[in-house]
Amino acid sequence: MTKQAIDWSGCPLVEMVPGKVSGAPILKGTRLPAQTIVDNHDYGMTPAEIVEQFGVTEEQVRQILDYARNHARRATRPRAPSAARP
């Protein structure tokens, strides 16, 4: 999931507060970026390890990971036009 941009705007667990963690999408009521949960899971941490490390609930971790899976936007590159052959 880390290679994709996630649109957090529709996630009820996430807020963006100007001036708080530079306006990054964070778990409501915390300073924990939502992407941190996704990245740590992608790097091999279990939900239980994420709960222990960051002081969030297992339900929050599950919901963030589910949301990220369902709302990731694949990064696409514009295709170069193919060369015309005579």
CATH number at residue 13: 1.10.10.10
**CB contact at 8 A, 80 and 30:** no
Residue 67 lies in a domain: yes
Residue 78 lies in a domain: no
Whole-model pTM: value is 0.78
Residue 82 lies in a domain: no
Give the residue numbers spanning the domain of 38: 5-72
The total number of structural domains in the chain stands at: 1
Q: pLDDT higher for 77 or 48?
A: 48
User: What is the average pLDDT across 54-76?
Assistant: 88
Give per-residue pLDDT as tens, 5-33: 899 999 999 999 999 999 999 999 999 99
Lowest mean pLDDT among 4-13, 17-26, 60-69, 77-86: 77-86
Residue 48 lies in a domain: yes
Residue 80 lies in a domain: no
Residue 21 lies in a domain: yes
Residue 83: which pLDDT band, with cuts at 50, 70 and 90?
Answer: low
**CB contact at 8 A, 25 and 37:** no
